[in-house]
Structure 1
Amino acid sequence: MSSRPSSRREELTRVALRLLEEEGPEAVSTRKVAHAYGASTMAVYSEFGSLDGLVVSVVEQGFRLLGAELEEVGASDDPVADLRRIAVAYLGFADARPDLYRVIYAVSPLAGRRQTGDQLLLGAAAFEVLHEAVRRAYRAGRLTRATPYSAAVEAWVSLHGLALARLSGYLDEMPPLEGGPLALLHTLLLGLGDAPERIAASLSPGG
């Protein structure tokens, strides 16, 4: 398969991503990716330097896909309703792409590699979508306690924990959450100073 170097890099990343999602993390190896691409293992090494480089590229692409899902929510006149939609999109991504979600957040290693240090910050752009919605909620006077950054971190930790609990199957064996999966968001908003009646309106499906 002949391609320009840049497109070859992108295609190898797509192949690795497809193997990850169709066969699981154990399917991503230099040999399998090269074979599925239709080239020798040298194609992987020449583009990425090592399997580690390919893993980083897959993680970057995974976060781009997550970020695109969150950005599709857009901004409305109700930033708290936007937070609900972001939460739904985030949990939906994790549910639809469980292996990719676990890999990008270093829950599962890919090809025996678990990202550390700066690699864990590759999701900053996706986090920024959530952070900006939280900042707008503060500017609108809906949230008054803590700071926008700490509130955004708390919101992400809540969503991340909920996503993992859902993926693990734990929640399937427990009584359903009162208020549904977004009950944690409701509690967080209360703690950050929003009014109960406004939260209820914003978190309703039509909010």
Structure 2
Amino acid sequence: MATRDTTDSPRHRIVEAAVELLENGGPEAVSTRAVAAAAGMQPPAIYRLFGDKEGLLEAVAEHGYAQFLETKRAQLDPDPQDAVEELRHGWDLVVEFGISRPELFAVMNRATGRGADMAHRAGLEILHGRVRRLAAGGWLRVDEELAAQIIQATGRGAVTTWHSTPSDRRDPALLTALREAMVTAITRTEPTVPATENGPAAAARALRAALPDDADVLSAAEQHLLREWLTRLTASGSP
């Protein structure tokens, strides 16, 4: 996502100052006066550029998403060999960000502005790409949309639980347990599509083999048509 400011622009200086104050002192520390002083500017500049404090916090959220997406994209494997391990790595990345930068993470989750929403959608595209690769490999045991929701819910839940637990009682084993519970909930122990095969032909072959002869959800005509389509797709992958 393209940014609207450069690293030496007044807007960028103000956002960076707001982020630093937020992470060191929480939302209460992000007053227009304090941010202006930290950025070496006058308070009217904040109102001119962001409208009000809420507008500034929206810009902070957008900035946080941009940083997070940059990290995710830098670590994105264009051709992952193990879709389940890719899932684990992506979940760990989100949770680590939320644990290490709790105040920014909270502001990002509350943001409703267009810029933050666009960045959030970009992050979701990466998530759905991971889920789609799991589905294509025959690993998913639930619907793709439900899988994505479970991944998001367990990640946010892990961060929330971590920060609500007294520091002397926090155990990293909790994060591992939650991650593995998520993996177990959405993936199979063995893929329904052979790992040595790629493309729709392998998936069609696996689905055709799994179809019951008397599926109640489909009429006889629908079952016949579906089997015909799957047979064509299977044949398309033959040498």
Instruction: Give the TM-score band, short-chain normalised.
Output: 0.7 to 0.9
1:22–1:135 distance in 2 versus 1, CA, 3 Å: same
* Counterpart residue identity of residue 195, structure 1: T
Give yes or no for the alignment of 1:79 onto 2:76.
Answer: no
SS of the residue 1:182 aligns to = helix
> Pick from 33, 36, 42: which aligns with 1:40?
42
Q: Is the 8 A contact 2:6 2:12 kept in 1?
A: no
In structure 1, the gaps of 5 or more residues are: 107-114, 199-207
The structure that has the greater radius of gyration is 2
1:71-150 equivalent positions in 2, closer than 5 A: 71-75=73-77, 76-106=80-110, 115-116=111-112, 121-122=117-118, 123-146=120-143, 148-150=144-146
Specify the alignment match of 1:17 in structure 2. Answer: 19
Structure-1-length-normalised TM-score: 0.76
Q: Percent identity?
A: 29
Give yes or no for the alignment of 1:195 onto 2:189.
Answer: yes
Shift in Å, 1:173: 6.7
| Count of matched residue positions in the alignment of Structure 1 and Structure 2 | 184
Give yes or no for the alignment of 1:158 onto 2:162.
Answer: no
In structure 2, the gaps of 5 or more residues are: 193-239
CA distance in 1, matches of 2:26, 2:112: 21
Shift in Å, 1:9: 0.8
Q: Cα RMSD over matched residues?
A: 3.1
Specify the alignment match of 1:180 in structure 2. Answer: 177
Mean Cα deviation higher: 176-185 or 5-14: 176-185
Higher relative contact order (CA 8 A, sep 6+): 1
